[in-house]
Structure 1
Amino acid sequence: MDYIWFSVAFTCGFLAKQVNLPPLVGYLAAGFGLHALGVTPEASLEVLSDLGVTLLLFTIGLKLNVKSLFKMEIWAGATGHMGAIVIITTLNCMIFGSLGLLHFSGLQWSAAALIGLAVSFSSTVCAIKILEERSEMRSRHGQIAIGILIIQDIAAVLFVTLTADKSPTIWALALLALPLLRPFLTQLLQRCGHGELLPLAGFFLAFSGGELFELVGLKAHLGALVIAVLLSGDSKATELSKSLMNFKDLFLIGFFLSIGFTALPTLDMISVALIMAIALPIKAIMFFLWLTRLKLRSRSAFLTALSLANYSEFGLIVCSAAVSASILQKEWLVIMALTVAFSFVFSSILNAYAHSLYSRWRDFLKNFERPQRLIEDRLSTPENANILVIGMGRVGTGAYDSLTDNLHKDVCGVETDRARVDRHCQEGRNVIAADAEDPDFWEQVNLEPVKLIMLAIPSPLDILEVVTQLNQMGYRGKTAATARYEDDKEDLIAAGIDVVFNFYQKAGTGFADETIHLLETGHESLESR
């Protein structure tokens, strides 16, 4: 049976990718298709799903800055939006019920409110997958979206805890002492080295946190998140997160497949789910309007809103608890599963065109900005630079240092991660915080003195978006970019980039260039004898 799951999942995911849809859309279709064919899921599928969600929350926690959760745009953005959605959905459900719509008629206020709570959450799994595919986890809107998702997840866990048959034990208070374990945990990671022991340590810590929280009556997923947060900020946390990435993506396939096995829908259930899915644009619009009221730029608010324009797997948990308490009929669990699946498809397709949509509607969307701006949303521009290095990770930093040290050029780095920008500035580099995919940024940059723009960005799609912005601004200088794969290199050259450096292929050349002087030195010493 395992072979059937993986075969169908691969086939559907492959077909989805061929028509420019994210593979997760194919996985969702595979789940419903297998269920319709009468395939019975085994316990291993649920285990695979739990593994994926646990590792997802663990990797999120490794990158999380806890202080960011206390920022107004995050905690107020999450709670304000959730409250508004609950109220509006409750009223709409009661109106639909009064009109006699099937499955809405007969709903009590408490049941309608629980449906509102279920649809107020956005999917952490879906949103993070979308942000990772676009390499926007560290961008301004990516960080806001992640913060809001964490607040929503905490609220969902609290709801599940309060409605569960068992309550947290008195020993749950002992979890407050967990920060005392941080020195031990960080030392443990350091001693694991860089090989296969490191990802295994990630599994061990994630599931140990889950088991610990389960023992005291709390959700295991919350335990994985908390343990990871304790490790965030450590030098080993980023390496650990990267080592777990492929494992997490593989296991999450089980999560997407499991949604299709929730129940077989009827035509009436599909109709209700489509009604709820139609409300997704309203959910996104409410996020956009609320975030702009909290002094975000229109672009940050817009891209954050699109990332959160979906329904969450926690909605299934809320409906399940309501069905168990006889507040909702069991059909609502199937309706919610369909609604979540439809929202994943909608969100995946919409976010594929997020940047082009903003460019098209930018003038209209900027009318909603407030005159005051948060510090993080104020645009910075390069001054007196002949060369711009976009993306100041390891590759970009190496390029920057080589240009300034060897060629003595006026260089400016552009980076979305503000923590990384602060670190570069402390080390004496000229780096500004900005998003190179932002047309508002390029609109304020004087491109006349810029002779070369180097794009050290991991995602080829992001590079192509930057090139589009540069073309619209009339940039006439040279461009260079990095690529990991040969087909990506060909696409970038076709887009008009002058030089594309495949750093996997050229690593050996660079290594030889750095060390060839050793042979020359040895030859000279032999001649002098």
Structure 2
Amino acid sequence: MEPAYFIYAFAGGLLAMILRLPPLAGFLAAGFLLNYSGYELTPTLNAIANLGVTLLLFTIGLKLNIRTLLQSEVWGVASLHITLSSLLFVLIIGLLKFGGIVLMQSTDWTAILILAFALSFSSTVFAVKLLEERSETQSFYGRVAIGILIMQDIFAVVFLSATTGSLPSVWALGLFLLIPAAPFLRKILDRLGHGEMQVLFGFVLALVLGYKLFEMVGLKGDLGALIMGILLAPHKTSASLARSLFNIKELFLVGFFLSIGLTALPSWEHVALALFLLVLLPLKTVLFVLMFPRFKLRVRTSVLTSMTLTNYSEFGLIVAALAMTQGWLSSDWLVILSLSVAMSFVVAAILNNYNERLYQLSRGRLDEVPAADLHPHDKPIELNGAQAVILGMGKIGRGTYQRLQDKYNLNVLGIDNDQNKVERLSEHYQIVEGDAVDSDFWDKLLVSDQVQLVVLAMPHHAGNVYALEQLRGRDFKGRVAAIVEYPDEVERLKALGADEVFEVYEGAGLSLADRAMQEVY
């Protein structure tokens, strides 16, 4: 592969970081610049992009609780939204037929219906990437967003089967045997440790038993990777496997974002129509925001979930390509959709940087669901007289909890945004589900003067920074301690007023030395 692909991608990602945008916005821009510079989408880059998407869906499955899909706020909103948004887009795009645009005059109503359906989907790749960057894939709003995206993937499989005129092979029924085979696969995972064999096994599951096997029986390969991840999700090392694949997946996804820009070279008419489709994007957001409160979600959850889903999907390109082979859509629309998808990613990246501010602007303008009627995961947090609060109940958080409770006799409350972790630890810890980057969360949390200490033990540095800003902005009088992974993060937290900041690995070394010398002295 040409060195230019790496140079453009790095330069684009670096520029995006300087502008305080997610690097993926820079990768998208790099793809278009490569295109204008005469480079093309190569088979190698396309293979890397497909690998990135497949591994992403596999790792989503590893973290997914299947019960999420059975929640009414997931399947209900997904079904209603895709229906209403498709109808709305048909009406609006249909009006262009009478606007004198040459390309629209040659586009029939079948093509318009397909375009509207394609635009109703949101991007799984983009949305999950945003959630991962904020460590919020397991937050309540993150789980709802991912659930809706997976429901859309299921709708995609139905659409692809129906429009190609070919149903899955009868051998697809044999895939149900993967369910009783799952315990055997988990036992294999038990014996592999945490090295290269674990990573290699993940590739075998995602690409062979997942993607290739499903593709062979006429189903969408990416769906197979997702299902394989779901089957392994209950295993105790599933989180470790997801972490092992994280950097590989991230690198391959750079290829995906580059490939969007390299898909086709647009004309000015294409750009104008792509901009028009981009103007329709807020309609998707509005529909989501209006629907979620009907399912007992509070305004913040509704707004943040809607913002995460405010983009067009790469699935739109698949729909366009399929419709083009069937003769329902001209090749021009593939170019236009490629451009609008890329533009929507850039716009969504910027908007999601300010999602909390956008929520604050919407407060008072949207009717809040009464607290008594809220979804169980959206109800206010009860402090129960806590004197110390631990934000982030990973290994460090749990160790801190135990120390404060056993040595200092404090009434400690643990808070984590991972529902599965909360359920698993609730037997031994006083722990509740909560999202520390939720501004409402802080209003609910600091209602008691009994809280003497807050420990910021979340894995994501940006989350700890936000939490500290909220604490100091609300004039919290107690002490604040925080952890960091890298030395250059210490000064930022101290400047914001943290009383104590500990480097994770330095703290681990001190603890190891103390324990090692216990028997000596």
What TM-score, normalized by structure 2, do the two folds share? 0.97
Q: Which residue of 1 aligns with 2:100?
A: 100
CA distance in 2, matches of 1:10, 1:248: 16
Report if the CA contact (8 A) 2:371-2:380 is conserved: no
CA distance in 2, matches of 1:456, 1:40: 45
Q: Quote how far apart the aligned CAs of 1:125 are.
A: 0.6
**Equivalent position amino acid for 1:411 in 2:** V
Q: Which residue of 2 aligns with 1:53?
A: 53
Report if the CA contact (8 A) 2:425-2:431 is conserved: yes
CA distance in 2, matches of 1:51, 1:79: 29
Q: Which residue of 2 aligns with 1:398?
A: 399
Task: Note closer, same or farther for the CA distance 1:431–1:356 as it changes in structure 2 (3 Å cut).
Answer: same
Q: Which residue of 1 aligns with 2:10?
A: 10
- Give CA-to-partner distance per residue, 1:325-364, whole Å, 9 cap, x none: 2211110000000010001001111111112332343333
1:153 aligns with 2:156: no
User: Mapping of 1:108-187 within 5 angstroms?
Assistant: 108-164=108-164, 166-187=166-187
1:376 aligns with 2:399: no
1:513 aligns with 2:517: no
SS of match in other structure, 2:363: helix
Q: Which residue of 1 aligns with 2:470?
A: 469
Report if the CA contact (8 A) 2:297-2:369 is conserved: no
Q: Please, which moves more after superposition, 460-469 or 46-55?
A: 460-469
Q: Quote how far apart the aligned CAs of 1:505 are.
A: 2.5
CA distance in 2, matches of 1:460, 1:431: 22
CA distance in 1, matches of 2:338, 2:21: 20
1:265 aligns with 2:273: no
Q: Which residue of 2 aligns with 1:479?
A: 480
**Equivalent position amino acid for 1:73 in 2:** E
User: Mapping of 1:168-247 within 5 angstroms?
Assistant: 168-208=168-208, 209-247=210-248
- Give CA-to-partner distance per residue, 1:216-261, whole Å, 9 cap, x none: 1222111111111111111121111110000000001111111111
CA distance in 2, matches of 1:194, 1:142: 27
User: Mapping of 1:355-366 within 5 angstroms?
Assistant: 355-366=356-367
Q: Quote how far apart the aligned CAs of 1:388 are.
A: 0.7
User: Mapping of 1:252-401 within 5 angstroms?
Assistant: 252-367=253-368, 372-401=373-402
Q: Which residue of 1 aligns with 2:62?
A: 62
**Equivalent position amino acid for 2:131 in 1:** L
Report if the CA contact (8 A) 1:298-1:369 is conserved: no
**Equivalent position amino acid for 1:248 in 2:** K
SS of match in other structure, 1:426: coil
Q: Quote how far apart the aligned CAs of 1:431 are.
A: 1.1
Task: Note closer, same or farther for the CA distance 1:259–1:514 as it changes in structure 2 (3 Å cut).
Answer: same
SS of match in other structure, 1:40: coil
- Give CA-to-partner distance per residue, 1:71-104, whole Å, 9 cap, x none: 1000011111110110000011111112223432
**Equivalent position amino acid for 2:249 in 1:** K
What TM-score, normalized by structure 1, do the two folds share? 0.95
Q: Quote how far apart the aligned CAs of 1:166 are.
A: 4.8
1:438 aligns with 2:422: no
CA distance in 2, matches of 1:279, 1:496: 43
CA distance in 2, matches of 1:96, 1:369: 42
Gaps of 5+ in 1: 521-529
Q: Which residue of 1 aligns with 2:451?
A: 450
CA distance in 2, matches of 1:418, 1:58: 20
**Equivalent position amino acid for 1:137 in 2:** T
**Equivalent position amino acid for 2:400 in 1:** A
Gaps of 5+ in 2: none
CA distance in 2, matches of 1:358, 1:39: 41
Q: Quote how far apart the aligned CAs of 1:119 are.
A: 0.6
CA distance in 2, matches of 1:96, 1:224: 39
* Aligned alpha-carbon RMSD (Å): 1.6
- Give CA-to-partner distance per residue, 1:449-499, whole Å, 9 cap, x none: 111110111122112222232233321111111111112111111111111
CA distance in 1, matches of 2:479, 2:360: 23
Task: Note closer, same or farther for the CA distance 1:189–1:210 as it changes in structure 2 (3 Å cut).
Answer: same
- Give CA-to-partner distance per residue, 1:171-216, whole Å, 9 cap, x none: 1111122101111100111111111111111011111121111221
**Equivalent position amino acid for 1:275 in 2:** F
**Equivalent position amino acid for 1:175 in 2:** L
